Amino acid sequence: MTDMRTAEGSAPVQGPLWGARPRDWAAQEERHHSIYDNIWPLVDVPAGGSVLDVGCGAGTFCRLAAAQGYQVTGIDAAASLIDLAGELVPDGEFHVGDLQFLPFADDHFDCVTAFNSVQFAADPGAALAEIKRVARPAAPVVIVVWGRPEHSELTAIVTGLAPLLPPPPPGVGGPAALAEEHVLDTLIERAGLRATASGYLPVPLDYPDQEAFLLANLSTGVAAVAIRTSGEDAVRDAILRAAAPFRTASGGYRIEAESRYVIASA
Ligand SMILES: C[S@@+](CC[C@H](N)C(=O)[O-])C[C@H]1O[C@@H](n2cnc3c(N)ncnc32)[C@H](O)[C@@H]1O
């Protein structure tokens, strides 16, 4: 029997979760600049070429690529984030949609990027095959996912939220579903992509005060599920309890997270 979640994609579920607090998520996305700044210089894209960012969120990476003269297209499940991306990158083209069903022709883009989005697809392997389909032959493809749970202090926060979440439906991976090296590498190879570089990247996340930290962490997809299930007060308390070890002397927070990246050739 066909699994309807896989056949339809996860966008109808994920979009409202990630899009519930769009401005707070956009502020969090700014903290992901170290990921873009470390990985993007490793990617060889022809000057002025076309770049598709799948799961583009509020458009923070798209803004960076557009500022360098690339023609930018973004797609995301969250309509509210796509609205912000359009404001942030007026020259970009933005779509609400599912990364597993990309509304673009075959062999279309000079580069395709996916920063922390493929792990949320109903079928990440199918999403990678879609990415390969719309990339020009031999075009660079960048896939970034969360790093190893034991190397990321974000794990403490996700673990702290676990009692406030409903049990996941069978077959649905969590945010760290693709973190282990062999899982992503195997899916990439099966999608017909050829990995040319890969590694783990430390991702420091800094928050000046408790309110900024809370707003950022209440705006994630997993927090949105916890809020629906258990209410915002319980989620705030759980986040603050889990993050207590990461409080700085000045009353802010610093989380040492990790990303895994693979640069591949389509
Ligand atoms: C962790 S955020 C990453 C956002 C941004 N790329 C970044 O670098 O921070 C995950 C993003 O993937 C999007 N997403 C999740 N599932 C999706 C799907 N099935 N199709 C399209 N976008 C999806 C979410 O709406 C959200 O914007």
- Ligand 1 pocket test: which of 73, 76, 131 has the largest number of ligand atoms within 8 Å of its C-beta? 76
Check pocket membership of 176 for ligand 1, CB cut-off 6 A.
no
pLDDT computed for residue 1 by the predictor: 39
Domain that holds residue 179: 2-265
Number of domains observed in the structure of the chain: 1
Ligand 1 pocket residue status of 55, Cβ below 6 Å: yes
- Which pLDDT belongs to residue 16? 96
* Residue 144 CA to ligand 1 centre (angstroms): 11
Asked if the model's pLDDT at residue 109 lies above 50, the reply is yes
pLDDT at site 176: 67
Question: Who's near 67: CB < 8 A, 6+ residues apart?
Answer: none
Integer Cα distance of 107 and 73 in angstroms: 15
Phi (first) and psi of residue 264, to 5 degrees: -130, 170
Taking residues 22-41, report their average pLDDT: 98
Q: pLDDT, tens digit, for every residue of 127-165?
A: 999 999 999 999 999 999 999 999 999 999 999 999 999
Q: What is the C-alpha to C-alpha distance for residues 157 and 1, in angstroms, rounded to an integer?
A: 36
Strand partners, 142: 113, 263
Evaluate if residue 2 carries a pLDDT over 50.
no
| Entry field: residues in the chain | 266
Query: Residue 11's CB: how many other CB atoms inside 10 A?
Result: 22
Contacts of 26 (CB under 8 A, 6+ apart): 57, 58, 60, 81, 84, 88
∠ at Cα 119 (140, 7), nearest 5°?
100
Mean pLDDT within 62-69: 98
What pLDDT, on a 0 to 100 scale, did the predictor assign at position 183? 87
Domain CATH number, residue 40: 3.40.50.150
Which mutation among 17, 117, 203, 259 tests ligand 1's pocket best, with the greatest number of atoms within 8 A of CB? 117
Helix (H, G, I), strand (E, B) or coil at 212: helix
CA angle 151–128–176, rounded 5-degree value: 20
* Predicted local distance difference test score (pLDDT) of residue 11: 96
**Sign of the alpha-carbon dihedral angle for 51, 57, 58, 60:** negative
pLDDT of 180 > 90? The answer is no
Tokens of 259: 């990303």
Residue 170: pLDDT band (50, 70, 90) is: low
- Its pTM stands at 0.95
Distance CA 256, CA 236 (A): 20
Whether pLDDT at 125 is above 70: yes
Kindly indicate the confidence band of residue 257, based on its pLDDT and cuts at 50, 70 and 90. Answer: very high
- Is the beta carbon of 121 within 6 A of some atom in ligand 1? yes
